Structure 1
Amino acid sequence: MTSSPEPSSRPAEPPVRRRDTRLDNYVDRYAVRTHGMTASAIRALFAVANRPEVVSLAGGMPNITDLPLDVVGSSLQRLVLDDGRVAMQYGSGQGEPMLREAICEVMGLEGIAAHPDDVTVTVGSQQGLDLVTRLFCDPGDVVLCEAPSYVGALGVFRAYQCEVRHVGMDAEGLSPQALREALEVLRQQGKRVKFLYTIPSFHNPAGVTQSEQRRREILAIAREADLLLIEDNPYGLLGFDHEPLPTLRSLDSELVIYLGTFSKTFAPGFRIGWVLAPHAVREKLVLAQESATLCPPVFSQFAVAAYLRDHDWRGQIKVFREMYRERRDAMIAGLADHLPAGCTWNTPAGGFFVWVGLPAGLDAQAMLPRAVTARVAYVPGTAFYTDGFGSRFMRLSYCYPTPERIIEGTRRLGEVLNREAALHETFGTVGPADPAGPALPYQAPRPNQS
């Protein structure tokens, strides 16, 4: 009979750490969810696009030139003198009552009947989306998004390790048929969708708007599938041709969580947004808000509430609408005059963005360095997909530059595109696959023919 070996007295060796060359010595310590965090293509452009010699058609920065700073300044002065000790103190995790009441009045312009108790104030609507995703999504959960979708939302979903499935669009936005097909595929795969994220009005980046009939169709599908909708509505009051369409939330108060913001209709620097949610969800939102920031910025809330109380904010929105309409018209005229044959684009009825399709063989991502060298910037379409599609599209923003700068920017862009098209014709460069091809699982929104 053999005796069992004696246990070794040697101490356990420490784990071997990687010794390869690297810039981040903390890489072994990060949580797994950080692997999904990537730099925004738009943020990465800012350093270059903000140079005065570059015409930036890239970022969606609101133009607050027409904001009456004398009125805002007087309001802030009175706020500090009269209510400074309260406005500069900690506040409620849900947000200040007087602002939540004013938010309900603002939402009433789009047909939403809401109670202030169901509103949670956030640090911009971006934080609202982050909190909602934190509440509902575990790693691996499926989130449906339009194809393309807002780059900031895709970043949130990646950070929470969600699986994003894109759903096709057409000239009226999200396609009901594509939504049905996506839900059926996921059902067959045994996967449950946590929610659908959508921007129904003046979509970012595609610039399209869901008709009222389309909104009702999407809600009918959601009721059949018991599907939660996250409605992001930063641009809804900035339509050029008609009064605001009914929001999804105004048509269904149980299946829709609504995200709003003052960044586009007042000023982005105050960083005030909100979430309107069913009461049970609101309670958890407040808890999540308190763990994230303790309370949203109180001074900003008082400042926005004072602006809404003391100023003709409805009239100011009309001023913004006319200003953005003029810039939209300049963009469409510039595209028609300067872009080569084969380019396509839509004519947005509001908001900030135009979605441009390129001729076969051209790649917006590969072309971007040459465009920046020509002193014009845009965002390649690939930034708005999670799966690499969109290389034959670009998003152009008309909200910030003057009409004259927009025309100059489209002229520069046209020169770059003409050079790229000539190179492709001469050398037969193999371009990216057509994002509207039948082999793809979804359709990109098809812009109007130029």
Structure 2
Amino acid sequence: MTTTPNAIGRLPWERMFAGHVADDSGDVITAILKQAGGDGTIAFSGGFPHPATFPKDALAESFTRILQDPASLQYGPTAGLPGLRDWFAGWLADHDGLRPAEDELMITSGGMEGLGLVVKCLVDPGDRVVVEAPTFMGALVSFQRASARTDTVPVDSDGLDVDALERLLTGPGTPPKLIYTIPDHQNPTGVSLSTERRHALVALARRHDLLIVEDVAYRELGFGDVRSPSLWSLAPDVVAQVGTFSKTFTPGMRIGWISAPAELVGQLVRAKQNTDQCSSGLGQLLLEDYGRSGRFDQGILASRAFYRARNRIMTDALAEHLPEGVRFTRADGGFFTWLTAPDTVDPDAFREAARAAGVSYVPGAAFYPDQRGEHELRLSYSRVDDATIPEGVRRLASALASADRR
């Protein structure tokens, strides 16, 4: 005998969802990010790496050999496979001048899991956290779902305003537990934290018992020859570095890392046991093989050149086509540039004009916890073809001009 579901109605989902679940305002952003250009839209919205940078030949070469390793298809240690952790600890020593101890490094399923584990282990409802304004929208959602109180510190051409952070830390109220920062080629602005401010930030963190959560998703994709020290290498006692291999290997493998004090890593490993238990063994073995072959560093050099050229095309097009009064950042690495339009531009009219023109972007409000930023927007040049970028900027500039109320 077959039965049918109760036809009386539906569950009262509005009452059943937890209080930290995001409201419907995120639907607009989700819709924009889904625009991949298949309908003729030029999508400056999604911050995805370009498939041309993926090491497909190296993966094909390694795949059959790696499958012979029993660890490739089996559960693995929650902290990550020993071989990958050993190789990457050495890589950090070579490139950042500091090797994490065995109990100071763990492998995660991408950078977002790493950030989520940090929030899960450290942030209780009502705790204060500090973020840059603007900052990565995924971090804002993580803090929102932990019911944290999110304070902001502005960003300028030299990155996080450390003086403003100091004023916040010495102000009234319960001290914040942590500050989340993207010091290298920030998402969404593309700017980097100056070396002077890096030293000032870690000194401030030590003075105020503040944990710095350093997101280094774009650190290896700098366009110049100057490489500032990572915050973790300057102060491993007060920094949790959250990283991802999505931009330097492949996003599909979902591999990242956390390097942090052993006390914190121990808690993060225990928390991971209750999320995905362990990251993909197959992906970890492929990454280790790729890294030990020397092709990881070669791939980073190629990716830097690839995105440097694309950034130059974007910057030149913005300088040529944007209406007077529109400002934009000149990124020194990564995937993004940040536009600020005059207050005379009607944001609703601009959004409709851009949609009609067939060009997408991410509105600035997505990068602030208080929904400010209505005259700002993020553009990503990472996955748009070279020949298409100028046309997309021209369409965007036309939409901006048509939405100006002057």
| Same fold per superposition (TM over 0.5) | yes
Q: Secondary structure at the match of 2:151?
A: strand
Choose which of 95, 99, 112 in structure 1 pairs with 2:80.
95
Note the aligned Cα RMSD (angstroms). Answer: 1.9
1:24 Cα deviation after fit: 6.0
Q: Secondary structure at the match of 1:237?
A: helix
Structure 1 residue 74 corresponds to structure 2 residue 61: yes
Unaligned regions of 5+ residues in structure 1, if any? 1-21, 426-450
CA distance in 1, matches of 2:42, 2:243: 29
Contact 2:55/2:249 (<8 A) preserved = no
Choose which of 146, 169, 179 in structure 2 pairs with 1:183.
169
Q: Which residue of 1 aligns with 2:3?
A: none
Q: Secondary structure at the match of 1:65?
A: helix
Structure 1 residue 266 corresponds to structure 2 residue 249: yes
User: Would the alpha carbon gap of residues 37 and 305 (structure 1) be closer, same or farther in structure 2, given more than 3 Å must change?
Assistant: farther
What pairs up with 1:109-124 in 2 under 5 angstroms? 109-124=95-110
User: Would the alpha carbon gap of residues 316 and 141 (structure 1) be closer, same or farther in structure 2, given more than 3 Å must change?
Assistant: same
1:102 Cα deviation after fit: 2.0
What pairs up with 1:45-194 in 2 under 5 angstroms? 45-80=32-67, 82-83=68-69, 85-108=70-93, 109-185=95-171, 188=172, 190-194=173-177
Q: Which residue of 2 aligns with 1:202?
A: 185
Deviates more, 1:35-44 or 1:287-296: 35-44
1:23 Cα deviation after fit: 7.5
- The CA deviation string for residues 348-389 of structure 1, in whole angstroms up to 9 with x for no partner, is 111111011102222446522321221101111100001121
1:47 Cα deviation after fit: 2.9
What pairs up with 1:358-373 in 2 under 5 angstroms? 358-364=341-347, 367-373=350-356
TM-score (norm 1): 0.85
Contact 2:363/2:376 (<8 A) preserved = yes
1:402 Cα deviation after fit: 1.6
Q: Which amino acid aligns with 2:217?
A: P
- The CA deviation string for residues 317-362 of structure 1, in whole angstroms up to 9 with x for no partner, is 1100000001100000110111100011111111111011102222
User: Would the alpha carbon gap of residues 123 and 369 (structure 1) be closer, same or farther in structure 2, given more than 3 Å must change?
Assistant: farther
Q: Which amino acid aligns with 2:318?
A: L
TM-score (norm 2): 0.93
Q: Which residue of 1 aligns with 2:364?
A: 381
Runs of 4+ in 1 over 3 A off after TM superposition: 35-43, 363-366
Q: Secondary structure at the match of 1:139?
A: coil
Largest Rg, 1 or 2: 1
Choose which of 398, 401, 404 in structure 2 pairs with 1:415.
398
1:28 Cα deviation after fit: 2.1
What pairs up with 1:279-294 in 2 under 5 angstroms? 279-294=262-277
Structure 1 residue 39 corresponds to structure 2 residue 26: yes
Q: Percent identity?
A: 36
Contact 2:210/2:238 (<8 A) preserved = yes
1:49 Cα deviation after fit: 3.8
User: Would the alpha carbon gap of residues 365 and 394 (structure 1) be closer, same or farther in structure 2, given more than 3 Å must change?
Assistant: farther
Q: Secondary structure at the match of 1:291?
A: coil
Contact 2:22/2:141 (<8 A) preserved = no
Unaligned regions of 5+ residues in structure 2, if any? 1-8
Q: Which amino acid aligns with 2:167?
A: E
CA distance in 2, matches of 1:202, 1:271: 21
User: Would the alpha carbon gap of residues 233 and 373 (structure 1) be closer, same or farther in structure 2, given more than 3 Å must change?
Assistant: same
CA distance in 1, matches of 2:101, 2:119: 23
1:38 Cα deviation after fit: 6.4
Aligned pair count?
398
Contact 2:353/2:402 (<8 A) preserved = no
Contact 2:347/2:403 (<8 A) preserved = no
- The CA deviation string for residues 394-442 of structure 1, in whole angstroms up to 9 with x for no partner, is 1111111122111111011011111112xx01xxxxxxxxxxxxxxxxx
CA distance in 1, matches of 2:359, 2:24: 28
Q: Secondary structure at the match of 1:144?
A: strand
CA distance in 2, matches of 1:416, 1:73: 44
Q: Which residue of 2 aligns with 1:249?
A: 232
